[in-house]
Structure 1
Amino acid sequence: MRLRYGMNPHQQATITPLGRPPFAVVSGGPSYINILDALTGWQLVREAARRFGVPASASYKHVSPAGAALGETVADAYARARDADPKSSYGDFVAVSHPVDLELAGLLKRVVSDGIIAPGYDDGVVDVLAAKKRATYLVLEADAEFEPPAEEVREVYGVRLTQQRDALPMPHDLPDDAVLGMIVARYTQSNTVVMVKDGMTIGVGAGQQSRVDCTRLAGEKARLWWSRRSSEPLTGVTMVSDGALPFADNVEEAQRYGVTHIAEPGGSIRSPEVAAACAKAGITWSATGLRLFRH
């Protein structure tokens, strides 16, 4: 299938399923980045919903989530996901784990968004969504039973790279917010730091070369999110890092944003220093042994 364009309008692009298609186009025409956002976002919300047994949603921009959250309904989950960083969610691609109802369709009708992927749509929903963006809003229906191949293949500049798909189960001995943060980190461009509170991301620092910059970026987003709700100090935040914290400066930064639990792979030469800094700051430290890089 020919796409509207590639990563940029001057690039032509096509999509070719390698067997059973993972989704169907219900309305609109996808671009290259739409497909990347949709496929990545769907895997995030599918994994989160399976783990926690409630609806999950993610608001994707440029192959990383601006926000992700659990909710009592799909509308609740998306509202919480978008509320994490509404500025970054402007023009997002939406992923939800359960069929879309008219409540969520009504919410999407009022916000600027490029498209959505979901496992189904209630009666009347597609008509509401398809009318968005001068009738160009992209609606994709995910195949809820589709399992991605065990091997990932990428061809870049004349070289083919293959690797095992990252499907290692998340730990069962961590608090829910830590596990949710790890699931979000798995589907976010590295380096990544995710801050989570009460089942929703409140700050995502993605794609930075310096991990402490990820921590600051996620923390400032978390602080802004909290400032819209309360004048009291922010606390009870869980911070997840997709890679080992290389220095204790990340802990010092985390303190500024109300972090009380840090979950990271550990195993670094300075991990004992990081653990000691957490103990001194009264922050619970969990070494997961699980790196979650994504490039």
Structure 2
Amino acid sequence: MRLRYGMNPHQAATLGNAPFTVLAGAPSYINILDALTGWQLVREAAERFGVPAAASYKHVSPAGAALGRTAAEAYLRARDADPKSSYGDFVAVSRPVDLELAAVLKRVVSDGIIAPGYDDGVLEILAAKKRGTYLVLGMDPSYEPPADEVREVYGVRLTQERDAAPLPHDLPDDAVLGMIVARYTQSNTVVLVKDGMTIGVGAGQQSRVDCTRLAGEKAALWSAEPLTGVTMVSDGALPFADNVEVAHRYGVTHIVEPGGSIRSDEIAAACAALGITWSATGLRLFRH
């Protein structure tokens, strides 16, 4: 099918066979990237934790992601992580959309949603958004992607194994959720998690300490009181102890990272000095 446009309006784009159905609206290239990346995140989180998961995507990275007792609660918690960045987001939820979530979506500024189903009456509510242009995608929940993924850049074809590495089972839930979010966020990435929701995502920065600082600044907006009990996940090894010092200022008490860098001993020592638990997983989660 022909898409509305590619990365930019001056670029034509098409879509081949897809594991979803367009139920309302007309997708663009970036809509599809957000939808499929967001779906992978919420599917993995829901399978791991057995509760509804939601993500609020902007430019192929989550502004927020969370677990909840219902799909509506999960999405509200995901959107509340960074409401400014979630303005005009693409929504991904692991459960069918019910009237409760539809009522939430009706009143927020959003571009579209992907979900495994829609209850009676929901599609009519969503299809009316944005003067009838709101994008609604129905995902096939049984779809399994190929083992390899392919990308073409400047006429060069690249093939690699899909990142399906199992995540640790000996870490707290917030640490595992942070790793799932990091897996589907543009690198470099630092994710701050508390009580089953992201409270700060620092994505796409060339300097890792800038990711840490950005995530912390977003988290600091949460409360007038100092934060505590925050888990920080880094998709790559922390290169310098300045990341630990910045994280400590934002209430981080547990840092999870791959480790294995030439300064990992310094990172571990800095964490110990500040009373921060340090977990080296040996698993890098870059996404480019």
TM-score (norm 2): 0.99
Q: 1:97 aligns with which of 85, 94, 97?
A: 94
Work out the number of aligned pairs and report it.
288
Matching residue of 1:285? 278
Matching residue of 2:26? 29
Matching residue of 1:5? 5
Partner amino acid, structure 1, of 2:236: G
The whole-number CA distance in structure 1 between the counterparts of 2:244 and 2:209 is: 9
Matching residue of 2:124? 127
The whole-number CA distance in structure 2 between the counterparts of 1:252 and 1:137 is: 43
Q: How far 1:233 moved relative to its partner?
A: 1.4
State yes or no: 1:73 paired with 2:65. Answer: no
Matching residue of 1:199? 196
Q: How far 1:169 moved relative to its partner?
A: 1.0
Partner amino acid, structure 2, of 1:206: A
State yes or no: 1:114 paired with 2:111. Answer: yes
The whole-number CA distance in structure 1 between the counterparts of 2:19 and 2:182 is: 22
Q: How far 1:119 moved relative to its partner?
A: 0.2
Question: Deviations 1:251-286 (Å, cap 9, x if unpaired)?
Answer: 000010000000000000000000000000000000
Question: Deviations 1:60-85 (Å, cap 9, x if unpaired)?
Answer: 00000000000000000000000000
Question: Deviations 1:82-138 (Å, cap 9, x if unpaired)?
Answer: 000000000000000000000000000000000000000000000000000000000
Aligned positions of 1:1-295 closer than 5 A: 1-17=1-17, 21-224=18-221, 226-227=222-223, 231-295=224-288
Q: How far 1:232 moved relative to its partner?
A: 2.3
TM-score (norm 1): 0.97
The whole-number CA distance in structure 2 between the counterparts of 1:7 and 1:124 is: 33
Runs of 5+ in structure 2 lacking a partner? Answer: none
Displaced runs of 4+ in structure 1, greater than 4 A?
none
1:88 aligned counterpart, secondary structure = helix
Identity %: 86
Q: How far 1:39 moved relative to its partner?
A: 0.2
2:83 aligned counterpart, secondary structure = coil
The whole-number CA distance in structure 1 between the counterparts of 2:24 and 2:164 is: 31
The whole-number CA distance in structure 1 between the counterparts of 2:219 and 2:156 is: 40
The whole-number CA distance in structure 2 between the counterparts of 1:24 and 1:286 is: 41
**More moved, 231-240 vs 108-117:** 231-240
Partner amino acid, structure 2, of 1:33: I
Partner amino acid, structure 2, of 1:68: A
2:149 aligned counterpart, secondary structure = strand
Q: How far 1:9 moved relative to its partner?
A: 0.4
Runs of 5+ in structure 1 lacking a partner? Answer: none
2:73 aligned counterpart, secondary structure = helix
The whole-number CA distance in structure 1 between the counterparts of 2:225 and 2:109 is: 31
